[in-house]
Amino acid sequence: MPPYPHDTALILVDVQPDFMPGGSLACHEGDAILPGIDALLRARRYRHVVATQDWHPREHVSFASNHHGRLPFEEITLHGQPQTLWPTHCVAGTPGAALHPAVDWTPLDLVVRKGTDPAVDSYSAFRENHGPGGTRPPTGLTGWLRERGVAQVHVCGLARDVCVLWTAQDALALGFRACMLWELTRPVTAESDPRTREALAVQGITLG
């Protein structure tokens, strides 16, 4: 297949072992995307390729283990916003936080590590979640893409209903055309798929 125009970038979200079956925060059939992502990168159809990587300190505020008496998947209020408490995952420097070794990452141009601030969670490739004062600090990816003339992003990876969705939504809000490569994503739970499809349709994010 021919390459995409130079104004199109691929964003691979959190393709890490901790989000695969057997990992500490396994997505539904998360490992099923690995062959397709590897093939897509080997085809070298994109001029610009970015990967994100959850990279948390052990004391991260999103971990249920850091809230006495709380369990994973309970919800609290953090910085005035709802916050899901997650199992401890993608701790910086651990094997579960690595980019998955089943993928040939040679074509990567940039890795955006997110969730490094112990006090703020981070789903999107573009902006962290709400922090103190209600702000969403940028990751720097927006400027990196704009400096390279990128106008459209294709997003895939994990999880479809959280970090991939937030990345596509932020891309659109920041002025990029956004497309989710649906078959190269998987959700935390399959029950969320109808809500995710509805959100994409309402906001004008295409499926590829």
Please state, in angstroms and rounded to a whole number, the distance separating the CA atoms of residues 137 and 149: 22
- β-sheet bridge partners, residue 172: none
**Catalytic machinery residues:** 14, 114, 163
Axis crossing angle, helix 163-173 with helix 193-203, rounded to the nearest 10: 10
* Amino acid in the structure at residue 35: P
Radius of gyration, CA atoms only, the chain:
16
Paired sense of beta strands 75-78 and 81-84, if any? antiparallel
| Angstrom distance (rounded) from CA 195 to CA 30 | 19
Distances (CA, A) of 126 to 86, 99, 141: 21, 19, 6
Q: Give the integer Cα–Cα distance in Å for 136 and 127.
A: 6
The one-letter amino acid code at 179 reads C
Phi then psi for residue 123, to 5 deg, are -100, -50
